[in-house]
């Protein structure tokens, strides 16, 4: 019987519940990114826009053929990263940057997504893309 409290405590560490007001798809930066990629693949502009703060208008003429994504780097911002950030909106301590490799039709492209934890969960507040091709 002593195992049950231990298992319950361990499961809350392994599978954290979303915070107050958060929906599961925005419970972590990774989940928000997965929600965003799924929306792009489905051609769902409304679902894609819901991943951003502030809410952006999204023109998505149809499904995007993203074959796969790989998170190559994860940075949780400290004072040093915040001081180095030169774009708008300004970064804040605790923001998370995911640098991601997208594969589409045999071509790769890299994206950087900056996430911030808000009341409704982790949202994309800035993003940029670049190609490795010359």
User: Mean pLDDT in runs of 10 for the chain (134 residues)?
Assistant: 43 44 86 96 94 85 92 97 92 97 91 95 93 66
CA atoms of 22 and 59, how far apart (whole Å): 25
Domains observed in the chain: 21-130 (3.10.450)
What confidence score (pLDDT) does residue 22 get?
61
Find out whether 22 and 121 touch, Cβ atoms under 8 Å: yes
What confidence score (pLDDT) does residue 58 get?
77
CA atoms of 132 and 134, how far apart (whole Å): 6
Q: Which parts of 34-79 are beta strand (E)?
A: 68-76
CA atoms of 49 and 66, how far apart (whole Å): 17
What confidence score (pLDDT) does residue 130 get?
83
């Amino acid at each position: 019987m002593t195992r049950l409290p231990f298992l319950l405590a361990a499961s809350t560490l392994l599978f954290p519940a979303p915070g107050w007001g958060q929906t599961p798809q925005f419970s972590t930066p990774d989940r928000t990114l997965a929600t965003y990629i799924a929306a792009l693949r489905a051609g769902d502009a409304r679902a894609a826009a819901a991943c951003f703060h502030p809410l952006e208008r999204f023109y998505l003429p149809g499904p995007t053929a993203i074959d796969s994504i790989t998170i190559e780097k994860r940075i949780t911002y400290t004072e040093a990263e915040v001081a180095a950030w030169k774009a708008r909106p300004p970064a804040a301590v605790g923001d998370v940057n995911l640098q991601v490799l997208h594969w589409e039709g045999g071509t790769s492209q890299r994206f950087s997504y900056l996430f911030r934890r808000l009341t409704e969960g982790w949202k994309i507040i800035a993003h940029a893309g670049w190609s490795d091709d010359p």
